[in-house]
Amino acid sequence: MSFDLNSLLRPHIAKLQPYTSARDEYTGKEGVFLDANENPFGSITEQDFNRYPDPYQSALKEEIAKIKGVRPSQIFLGNGSDEAIDLLYRAFCNPGKDNVILLPPTYGMYEVSANINDVEIRKVALTPDFQLQPDQILAAADANSKILFICSPNNPSANKVKREDILFLLENFKGLLVVDEAYIDFSDEPSFTTELDRFPNLLVMQTFSKAWGLASLRLGMAFASEELIRILNKIKPPYNISGLTQDTVLAAIKDKAKVDRMIQDILAEREFLKGELEKLPFVQRIHPSHANFLLVQIPNANQVYDDLIEEKVIVRNRAKVLLCADCLRITVGTREENEALLKALSKVVK
């Protein structure tokens, strides 16, 4: 397939001269730094944060590249995946002209970010078992369809999307195809990062917010061709990842074994919670999960949701979402939390 990234790009972004930070011109660590108007005496905090961080996060990308089997130049780091989503719209979608294809029910930020950027949304529903409708997706697309977002494993449905459907769309969709793998660590499915060299129209998103347990630090990853990553780097705020985040993750990333243990613990709890929920007579359906949550169908889910809050157990009400009637999305917690949920559920559902 011939794919020309520049023909998708908004013309003013192609022409854009990016901001050059003080630290672009001299990258050495030694020196008298009087170039960035920082406070030379240190910080108000115990730990010093007075110097601007590396705008390219080079040390961190080196380590991420090793774990993910990609080159550092194929990695973009954002202030959460949400920043990558927003930058994709701003780079490729002309407001009032271009459109994006979304596949509900799915992650809400694709739609919110499209609306913030005044980008038309074309929706093609998933099937009742939450799989793609590839022919309908292609039929909904036109020359102005710049991005297609596929979330796999999908939020809120928890299933993985059929790989052959995504491959078919990579071969036939004319815009960028984003595969959001926020929950890939909880799935037996291999990442689409292995397909990056084959598909220049592919961008894979992952995050440190879920399996790595770093939601508060705000660190999202995007993997794509060097050319596409260069565009995201060109338009991002120069210092989008704080020094605290870079240093903390760099120190932690060496202990990948700890993450793997936490993933195993979450998967074991997922099976426990699923097993216990199945025993409750009022639970109508538990959708198969490749994520760290379960989508559970219960009669009068709206009422159950409210009653659970009274018991100080907070789940996510998805009852009003397409194809999710009477469904609650329940994050897998610790054994104590899961037992608290089960106890509260049995109390509020008569």
Ligand X SMILES: *Cc1c(COP(=O)(O)O)cnc(C)c1O
Using CB under 6 A as the criterion, which residues of the chain lie in contact with ligand X when the complex forms?
80-82, 107, 151, 155, 180, 182, 207, 209-210, 215, 220
CB of 173 or CB of 208, closer to ligand X? 208
The answer to whether the beta carbons of residues 93 and 147 sit under 8 Å apart is: yes
Closest contact distance (angstroms) between CB of 220 and ligand X is 4
CB of 99 or CB of 245, closer to ligand X? 245
Residues 6+ apart with CB under 8 A from 87: 78, 232, 235, 236
Closest contact distance (angstroms) between CB of 29 and ligand X is 30
What is the full DSSP assignment across 75-87? EEEESSHHHHHHH
The answer to whether the beta carbons of residues 110 and 120 sit under 8 Å apart is: no
Burial code of 250-273, b = ≥16 C-beta within 10 A, e = fewer?
A: bebbeeeeebeeebeebbebbeeb
Residue 119: is it exposed, middle or buried by C-beta count within 10 angstroms (0-12/13-18/19+)? buried
Other residues' Cβ atoms within 10 Å of the Cβ of residue 339: 14
Tell me the H-state helices in 22-131.
22-25, 58-68, 81-92, 109-116
Closest contact distance (angstroms) between CB of 49 and ligand X is 22
CB of 223 or CB of 345, closer to ligand X? 223
CB of 137 or CB of 151, closer to ligand X? 151
**Residue nearest to ligand X according to CB distances in the complex:** 80
Closest contact distance (angstroms) between CB of 53 and ligand X is 18
The answer to whether the beta carbons of residues 253 and 63 sit under 8 Å apart is: yes
Closest contact distance (angstroms) between CB of 208 and ligand X is 7
CB of 57 or CB of 348, closer to ligand X? 57
Closest contact distance (angstroms) between CB of 159 and ligand X is 13
Residue 263 is inside which H or E element, if any? helix 256-279
CB of 53 or CB of 220, closer to ligand X? 220
